Amino acid sequence: MLPSRNTLILGLTSAMPTFFSASWMFFLPIIFKQIGYSIITIGIFYGTSTVLSSILSVFAGRLVLKIGPKRGIIIGGVIRSISILMIYTFSPILVPSGFIIDLGIGYPLSNVSRQYLIMKDEENKQATNVGWFMTIAGLPAIFSPILGALTEINKILILLTAITTLIATVVRALILTERKVNETFSINFSTIFSPIIFTLFSLLVTINSFIIPIFSQQVIGLTLSEVGILYSIRILGENLLAFYFGHLSDRLGVMKIFTIAVITESVSMLLFSISHGILSILTFLLWSLTASMTIPSSQALFYQMNKNNYISAYSLFLLVSGILSLPANFLVGLLFNINSYLPFIVQSIGNLIGLVIIISKFNNRC
């Protein structure tokens, strides 16, 4: 099953900015550390940006319903271009500021707008469209982290990210088609409860944001180039089969694929934390591959549970998950300082508990 027109456009215009951003974004925790920030402080940066993103996601949702997702993507793209230029300075003040503005302001507006276009473009193929977007936008960046590592995170890569993001924004403004938004922003028990359920699953997913590159260097003992290879494997795993698993989710049922993905993710996460050498690479590939199943199926699942008020529910989900992310990021940093393996153990258990709750809620709704 092929993607919708808007999904294809969004994927193609995201490919080039993603190619450049993937060459340095994964190394940001290392950059923060080199600037002089502690692991807990880095966690606070990530938590702060996520909380800001979540709070503004509600306003972004209301704004998108008023101005339309196409204009939302344009405004979000301009903000992201400027914030990436701030990161380009490598200033101890501007780098975290640009990072927080990018993820906290530009991203929520772009994200909510993009999600609406992908989910509402064609019925009964939400997972397919999400999967295709991941594959088209993500696969060109497979070798980007290696490029970033070999060039020691050359600043020109960050500059090119800002430029290509702006170009992509202009192209989208010219050729994206926009369906009328037939939804009024509303808050009710169903809208709030579903985001909370999903938040229980994703509470400690913040482990992926900043601990992995540091864990890979300090515990596994990988060099910067080897960490780059590890991230390339992550990109490959996350996007290689996303289009297939998205299609499979729509055919067999999103709940089935989602369940398999979460269980596999929890097991592979634990295996990665205790593996060494080539085995750690293989288990990390398995862990990353589960995202090809989890992301399309979970997003389609969320849409099915909140079809009539999707933007409202999605915005509130980002709000709830973001508020909880600050203590989660702090907790991940704290657990890492106590024992470097604890974050993996806690997240694995949290994933499985969240899965049970989601299955129960989905069965009651459907």
pLDDT digits (tens, 9 = 90+) for 310-333: 888 888 887 877 777 667 767 777
The answer to whether 207 touches 90, Cβ cutoff 8 Å, is no
| Average pLDDT of the chain to the nearest whole number | 82
Model confidence band, residue 199 (pLDDT cutoffs 50, 70, 90) = low
Confidence of residue 77 (pLDDT cuts 50, 70, 90): very high
How confident is the model over 166-189, as pLDDT tens digits? Answer: 999 999 999 998 777 777 777 665
pLDDT reported for residue 71: 92
What tens digit of pLDDT does each residue of 6-64 get?
999 999 999 999 999 988 887 888 788 888 888 778 877 877 787 788 888 888 888 88
Rg of the chain over Cα atoms, rounded to whole angstroms, equals: 19
Instruction: State how far the Cα of 231 lies from the Cα of 47, in Å rounded to an integer.
Output: 21
**Residues 137-149 pLDDT 10s:** 988 888 888 888 8
Of the candidate ranges 105-114, 155-164, 271-280, the one whose mean pLDDT is the lowest? 271-280
Q: Torsion angle of alpha carbons 188, 191, 194, 196, nearest 10°? A: -70
Instruction: Give the pLDDT of residue 343.
Output: 80
pLDDT of the residue at 192: 61
d(CA 196, CA 9): 32
